[in-house]
Each structure stands twice: as structure tokens, then as C-alpha cells.
Amino acid sequence: MTDKPTRIALVTGAVTRPHAAQGIGRAIALRLAKNGMHVAVNDIAPNLDNLNSLSEEIRAMGMKSSVHTADVSKEEQVRAMIEGVVETHGGLDVMIANAGITICNSFLETTVEEWDRIFSINARGTFLCYKYAGNQMVKQGRGGRIIGASSIRGKSGNNAAGSSAYVGTKFAIRGITQAAAGELGKHRITVNAYAPGFIESPMTVQADRNLVEKYNFKPGQFLETYRTLAPVGYVGKPEDIAALVSYLVSEEAHFVTGQTISINGGVFCD
């Protein structure tokens, strides 16, 4: 009886400037390496230094790692990224489409340019990662796991001051996830998404700043309001999302597909 080959994972949006040590993508990449996977990491070129540092951390854990700069909204760059991972590691078993941005503007003030930009990265980027990872996994014939990044704002869009376009992208990811799961299940590929509430991360810190500037919130009011709404009495950490992803990509999660799983401290219940 031979040991199963080590699985290969790719995490997009793996670092965030300037707080690379705090992001969800980084926490997921490290958790998958801890679980015994080789982990390729992606972000845009300006984040290359932080990507290299993360990759070094993964290698220090005894796993293989590689760095792939790409803008997930660009089809040719996503195609080349997947090809690069396969060329380096010999395949792809786990795709974590984590890359995304937020734009703070009210529904009535959101410009077409802002709308197009956030949809190109969050929604089209997720679609492209699902598509090219899915094609590779089908070609390999050994199944796979694809995970996307939705949000509590992909479950409930009301009371989302300054994030109407973001809400639209996160609802879109839910739909893309369900459609992909329906097509890829016969290939033993599951497709799911995580829907975090507010997590202590660079994105929520920036959202707090934006609300201070645009809507006269007090510094920290954004997170404090969420904290008081959560039955558990606190906001989440990136490692909480990484733990959920760890389960979703496991063999035990073979019967979970097409789901966007809420992880928000009880603020919103499906």
C-alpha cells in the first residue's frame, strides 16, 4: 500500500499590504501547509516582498511553496498562474479563490468605474479561478476542492452602509459557487465558499477608516457595533476562517458542495 501523494493548494490574495501578517489569505495558506499540503501563493506584483516572505514561512514548515503574481481579473494572467502552479508542483488539488477588494461608497454615489472594478476583481476573478482550476482538476481525474470568498454581505445586503457594490459581488460569488458545484460534482470536485462576518483583518480596518471619513463614524465604531451584535461577544480572526477552510478541503467534507457557509459569531443566521 503506497502513501497518497501530497496535495497541492493555491491561495489567491494571500497577502495584504501593509498588514501582511493579519490577512485571511495568509492564515489559510499557513493552515493548509500545517495540514501537510504544498502551497502556492498569489497576489498582485506590488505585494511580491510579502508573498516571498509567506512562501519562505511555508517552506520552513517543511512543505513546498511557490510564488505567482497575477491580477485575478485578467484571464490570461489567471491561466498562466494555474499553468505555473502545475508546472512547478505537478498538479493542483485545492483552489482557494480568496482575492478581493472593497470600495466604500453609497449606492447612489457609486460610479460605473467603481462598480466595474470591484466586479472585475471579486466576481470575474472568482469565476476565472474556478474555471481554470476546475479545468485542471477535471484533466487530472483525481477530484479536487474549490473554495471562494463570499461574505455576510453576500447573505444580507441591507444595513450595508457604503458597500452596495461589494454586496453585489459577494451575492454573485454565491451563485457562481452553486453553478460550478452543479457541473463539477460528477468529477468528484466540490465547490463551496465561506461567508465571514467582520474579521480582524486589513480589509475591515480599512472599512472602519472609510466609514470614519465618509459617514462621520468614530474610529473603531464599525467593529465595536459588530462586536455588540454578535451573540458570542467578539469579532473573528483570520485563523477562524482558515479552520473552516481546513475542513472544507478535507476528505471528510466530500459530501459538502454548493454551500456558502456563514461564519459570523451568530450575527446572521441562515
What are the residue numbers of the active site?
A: 166, 170
Residue 129 to residue 118: CA distance in whole angstroms: 16
Residue 168 to residue 160: CA distance in whole angstroms: 11
Residue 49 to residue 47: CA distance in whole angstroms: 6
Q: How many residues comprise the chain?
A: 270
Q: What is the 3-state secondary structure (H, E, C) of 15-57?
A: CCCCCHHHCHHHHHHHHHHHCCCEEEEEECHHHHHHHHHHHHH
- Partners of 11 in beta bridges: 41, 96
- Amino acid letter at 44? I
Residue 155 to residue 216: CA distance in whole angstroms: 26
- Nearest one of 48, 130, 68, 120 to 97, comparing CA atoms: 130
**2: DSSP letter:** P
- Amino acid letter at 100? G
- Contact predicate 10/68, CB 8 Å: yes
- Amino acid letter at 244? L
